[in-house]
Amino acid sequence: MTAGEFMATPLQALDQASDVPWYFVVLPPEVSATLPRRGRLTAAVWINDERFDILLEPDGRKSHWMRIEPAMLQAARAEPGVPARFRVAQLETQPEPEVPDDLIAALSTQAAAQQTWASTTTLARVDWIHWLTSAKQASTRAKRVRDACEMLADGKKRVCCFDPSGFYSKAFKAPEAKPRHAGD
């Protein structure tokens, strides 16, 4: 296999927020090490030669994991619980992240924050959004939106004191797999 290539078994995530199951794969550390950062980023991913651009999430162990939708498995002629061939490569440029509505609303009221936001890099915006969306409580998220606007208004282009890899903070981890039963 070439660099960035590996075999892995798509596993169903235990914590399903909807009726539609989704799957995940954790990248081997040596594959993750070929990427430019341990934090959240989008990569070109081939599953059995079918290419997708997939958001890779930090697993808190200096590697990444990826969410795989059922339609992706189907397009790649892959099945949950059955090993598939994966290849991961960095993209030439990162796509712009989707900005949450609460942040858009807050930025729209603060010209200085909006100006700094517009002048940051795509990966800095990814980190800002990751920091906001990783809040576990609505009150924490609301505070982070306010704090983000304050920091941006002060000209700070990067979120302060945020570990995008989750390694040092232990804030991120890969999903847990749903237990497989005989006959599944």
Token pair 């090490």 in the structure block, residue: 33
Determine which of 32-46, 117-131, 164-178 has the lowest per-residue pLDDT on average.
164-178
pLDDT number for residue 15: 78
CATH of segment(s) 5-90: 2.40.30.20
User: What's the pLDDT band for 19 if we cut at 50, 70, 90?
Assistant: confident
* Average of per-residue pLDDT values in the chain: 93
φ/ψ of residue 110, rounded to 5: -135, 100
Can you give the pTM of this predicted structure?
Answer: 0.88
Residue pair 178/135 in contact by the 8 Å Cβ criterion: no
User: How far apart (Å, rounded) are the C-alpha atoms in residues 39 and 45?
Assistant: 17
Assess whether pLDDT exceeds 70 at residue 136.
yes
139-174 residue pLDDT tens: 999 999 999 999 999 999 999 888 889 888 888 999
User: What's the pLDDT band for 179 if we cut at 50, 70, 90?
Assistant: confident
Going by C-alpha positions, the residue among 48, 82, 52 that lies closest to residue 66 is 52
110-123 residue pLDDT tens: 999 999 999 999 99
pLDDT number for residue 182: 54
User: What's the pLDDT band for 20 if we cut at 50, 70, 90?
Assistant: confident
Residue pair 22/13 in contact by the 8 Å Cβ criterion: yes
Averaged pLDDT for residues 31-54: 96
Domain ranges for the chain, please list them: 5-90
